[in-house]
Structure 1
Amino acid sequence: MNCPRVSIVILNWNGWEDTIECLESLFQINYSNFDVVLVDNASEDDSINKIRDYCSGILPVESSFFNYNPHNKPITTYEYNETFKKDEIPLKTENLTKKHITLIKNSENRGFPGGNNVGIKFALEFLYPDYILLLNNDTVVDENFLQELINNRNTRDDVGILGPKIYFYDKPQTIWSAGCKISWKFSRGIQIGTNETDNGQYDEIDEVEYVSGSAFLIKTEVIKKIGLMDENYFLYFEESDWTLRANQEGFKSLYIPTSHIWHKVSRSGGGISKPMGLYYITRNRWIFMRKWAKKNDFLVFLLIQIILAILIPIFLSLYYNDKKLFFSYYAGLRAGITNP
């Protein structure tokens, strides 16, 4: 197929302003055979109404990346709860165009993998995509980004996952990620090329250990073999885990440099600068390493964690002037060590 069907799953949690900017950029891309499944993770900031207003055309979007298009509104919305059943779904998939979104409202915050899994399950059951694209709501996409990913999907027979070149939103020529690799001794994902000005140094298609979950294109065939994301992670490390499960089935990941998006980094979780982000990063690295690390790597990781267990929480608390980080680190450490 020259134009395979893609279901784009976007997760919103108290971030409607980012979400509608992302949606507007999507509805201006030059790829036609896609649908959008927007999952709201029990937001408390009036996100649902704001997204409805955007889709109806009464809430315009301002962005330095594109001109708002009032002529592609209204965008039809189909709304469901997370407990959707087949006999309750009135939409006809054969008549869908890109001028619609499916809006699924979760009753609780299910985290990144849990929220996305709801959207993925809906897409697989009702939309029959050839590919699923996980796209962070705090991204803006280039008009050619999806076409470029699709154009390169058959570069190799063993490719199951593809990702774009990702720039910082507030530094549009500065790379955030040109693919990712894993530091096994420190149990952390490393964004290749981060903070480098793009001078063409990452303009070759490359096999990478994994691609960022902020824009993660995966074949439906892969999902059917390896299953959904592991919801135990809740936030962080889930795409690394998912990729390694794909690797076990013989599927590789490709970085596609001609596909471009811009990312507002750590908008939701906040990374190590916020208590929630630090808790899950600390917790999940232990879960991830027990599951995937080789024995020697795990022993080195264990030694490093013992040494840093005092230094990290003190340093972060002082650097970010937030004593909550101290307690979040140790709560995450305890949860990670005791997690079965």
Structure 2
Amino acid sequence: MNKIAVIIVNYNGIKYNKECIDSILKSDYNFVDIIVVDNNSQDDSIKELRKYFRDKIIIYESKENKGFAHATNIGMKYALENNYKYVLWLNNDTIIEKNMISNLIKCSVANNECVVAPKIMYFDYKNTIWSAGGEIKWIKGQTIQYGYKEKDLGQYDLHKNITFASGCCILIPQKVIKTVGLMEEKYFLYYEDTDYCKRIIDNKFTIMYEPSAKMYHKVSATTGGESSKLYIYYMTRSRLYFNNKYNKRKLMSNIYMYLSYFKKYIQWLINKRYDLIRISLNAISDFYHNIEGKADKDL
């Protein structure tokens, strides 16, 4: 049986870890090791993990928070060194269905050991889709997720080739990692999964969406939500970095982004969210000043 390493990055995720890990331990796929990489959490995450799970998980404590990609790379290096056939990236603010892992692996095996993404539902609205795979829209310089906020009526129940899979959950065979390499750590947060998907496709591997593999996501729970300052700063800066690196239409994509932000600025002004305007402008400025990794200012 193919052994799989589930890599969970934790940062102050004490509210989410137990429910996520419990769902993995209930999986019908038995050849699973859970690797939790802690990004220098300031809560009691590690204490609680050791209390509840003891020898059921592997814990690596990073002394510094260098971002999601850096922490994931620690887990992937461990998986390669210990010859795991598959790696599963999994956010800790998720719960997986019992057969999700086995269905992801079945899809990969049936399709020449491809990369596979599951159907991801909203945790709070379990019949509403968050992601049914996706693609990179180069003219906009961003990704889209199929089925986003749609009621699940079976319209995304066929597996298909995709060009983007959210880093919330991706199954990656060992042979893909050996060819593509590790994650790009310059992003710190967001778009590192988009970058990795781009490299997967560039190296002639396939990414598949598998609807029979299902999970539930407490969206952006550990970063404070999509209107948080942290989310806006890193999403803005990382989007610019990604497009500058890869996009042959980056002038068009940047114009599109700035126009979309102009609309947001009007809304933020109406709502007196001047802090969000400041944060997004800081992100743009930091990108053009080549500031990478963790922001050198408070968010």
Structure 2 length as normaliser, TM-score?
Answer: 0.92
What is the letter of the counterpart of residue 50 of structure 1?
Answer: E
For 1:153 and 1:191, how far apart are their aligned partners in 2? 21
CA displacement, residues 194-223 of structure 1 (integer Å, 9 cap, x when unaligned) = 111111111101111111111111111111
**Preserved contact between residue 223 and residue 230 of structure 2 (Cα < 8 Å):** yes
CA contact (8 A) 1:314 1:326 kept: no
| Number of the residue aligned with 1:180 | 134
Runs of 4+ in 1 over 3 A off after TM superposition: 305-311, 316-319
Unaligned 5+ runs, structure 2 = 292-299
For the aligned residues, what is the CA RMSD? 1.7
Q: Within the alignment, does 1:194 sit opposite 2:148 as a pair?
A: yes
The answer for the alignment partner of 1:82 in structure 2 is none
* Structure 1 unmatched ranges of 5 or more: 56-74, 77-99
In the alignment, which residue of structure 2 is the partner of 1:40?
38
Which of 26, 29, 37 is the aligned partner of 1:28? 26
Instruction: Indicate the residue corresponding to 2:281 in structure 1.
Output: 330
In the TM superposition, what are the counterparts of 1:243-258 in structure 2 within 5 Å?
243-258=197-212
Match of 1:151 among 81, 93, 106: 106
Q: Does 1:110 align with 2:66?
A: yes
The residue matched to 2:277 in structure 1 has which SS? helix
- Residue 280 of structure 2: SS of its match in structure 1? helix
* 2: CA distance, partners of 1:198 / 1:26: 24
In 1: Cα distance, 2:257 partner to 2:28 partner: 47
Instruction: Please state whether the residue corresponding to 2:128 is helix, strand or coil.
Output: strand
Note if contact 2:96-2:214 (Cα within 8 Å) is conserved in structure 1. yes
Partner of residue 78 from structure 2, selected from 122, 140, 150: 122
Contact 1:10-1:36 at 8 Å conserved across structures: yes
CA deviations 1:215-241 (Å, max 9, x no partner) are 111111111112110010111111110
Instruction: Please tell me whether the aligned partners of residues 141 and 254 of structure 2 are also in contact (alpha carbons under 8 angstroms).
Output: no
2:95 alignment partner AA: V
Give the aligned partner of residue 294 of structure 2.
Answer: none
User: Residue 297 of structure 2 corresponds to which residue in structure 1?
Assistant: none
The Cα shift of 1:271 comes to: 5.1
Q: Which has the larger radius of gyration?
A: 1
Q: Which one-letter code corresponds to 2:31 in the other structure?
A: N
Q: In structure 1, what is the equivalent of residue 49 of structure 2?
A: 51
CA 219–101 in structure 1, closer or farther in 2 if over 3 Å, else same:
same
Map 1:231-250; keep pairs closer than 5 Å: 231-250=185-204
Percent identical pairs in the alignment equals 35
Alignment partner, residue 92 of structure 2: 137
Cα pair 1:37 1:123 within 8 Å, conserved:
no
Aligned counterparts of 1:252 and 1:317: Cα–Cα separation in 2? 44
Q: Which amino acid letter does the alignment assign opposite residue 327 of structure 1?
A: R
1:293 pairs, out of 218, 230, 247, with: 247
Size of the aligned set, in residue pairs, is 291
Task: Measure the CA separation in 1 of the matches of 2:183 and 2:145.
Answer: 21
Preserved CA contact (<8 Å) 1:286 1:337: no
CA contact (8 A) 2:163 2:201 kept: no
* Aligned partner letter, 1:240: T
Q: Say if 1:316 and 1:218 are closer, same or farther in 2 by CA, change over 3 A.
A: farther
Shift of 1:186: 2.4
One-letter code of the match for 1:45?
D
TM-score using structure 1 length: 0.81
Report how far residue 308 of structure 1 moved. 4.3
1:42–1:107 Cα contact (<8 Å) kept: yes
CA contact (8 A) 1:180 1:210 kept: yes
